[in-house]
Amino acid sequence: MIRVLVTNIKGGCGKTTLATNLAGAFARGGLRTALADVDRQHSSLDWLGLRSPDAPEIKGFDWRKGVVEPGDGIARLVIDAPANLRMKEVEPLIREADVIVVPVLPSLFDETSTRRFLSKLDELKPIRKGRKGVLIVANRIRARTKAGQRLESFLESLDATPVTRLADRALYGEVAVQGLSIFDLKGHHADEIHNEWRPLLRAVEDEALR
């Protein structure tokens, strides 16, 4: 089983959108997939509750009171972490994960908290020694904007090249209210969005299996 933790101490950076769509991608790819929700708002579990029985199955687990093992047969587990955690609360989740995915928004306030968070991550032994990979996702990007350019400069200053850049699209919210991911959609427009995700999906596999 490959366990993917989606986390950032800053709220509103798109963790749940990233987690649910990662789970949707794995499930649509034919992998038995589970989604663990650690957030007290249980947004990921609410999303699963809306999911059609015709869509590929994703098993849900409530981790708000502790880790629940998904059992045999699960190939991919996505862990949706809450915001505003202290590092001592993040560390147990990192121990559970093979790969850590960190979404970052083009925002001054996100930059400040992300700088602190990535610095703290680098201090953790499993990451410092290279046993667990950290994948940065530049999220909700609007092309040719000053905010997007600022984010690129910020990440370059940290020597943190994003594994992919996901455009800011209303479609994510539109499919979420149906319990769907963008990988449950077909057509030319969907293919364009899927292409934005492919570098992240490849990087998750590469990091977990190295």
Q: Rounded to a whole number, what is the distance in angstroms from the first to the last CA of the chain? A: 14
Q: What confidence score (pLDDT) does residue 123 get?
A: 83
pLDDT band at residue 105 under the 50/70/90 scheme = confident
Q: Alpha-carbon distance 88 to 49, whole Å? A: 31
Q: What is the pLDDT of residue 72?
A: 87
pLDDT tens for 157-190 read: 878 889 999 999 999 999 999 999 999 999 998 9
d(CA 32, CA 47): 18
Report percent pLDDT > 70 for the chain.
Answer: 99
Q: What mean pLDDT value characterizes the chain? A: 89
pTM here? 0.92
Query: Which ranges constitute the DSSP H helices of 62-184?
Result: 87-96, 108-123, 125-128, 146-157, 171-176
Answer for the pair 172, 146: CB distance below 8 angstroms, yes or no.
Answer: no
Percent of the chain with pLDDT over 90: 53
Ranges 1-5, 44-48, 145-149: which has the least confidence? 145-149
What are the structural domains of the chain?
2-201 (3.40.50.300)
Q: How far apart are CA 79 and CA 38, in angstroms?
A: 7
**Residue 91 pLDDT > 80:** yes
> What is the tens place of the pLDDT at every residue in 2-25?
999 999 877 778 899 999 999 999
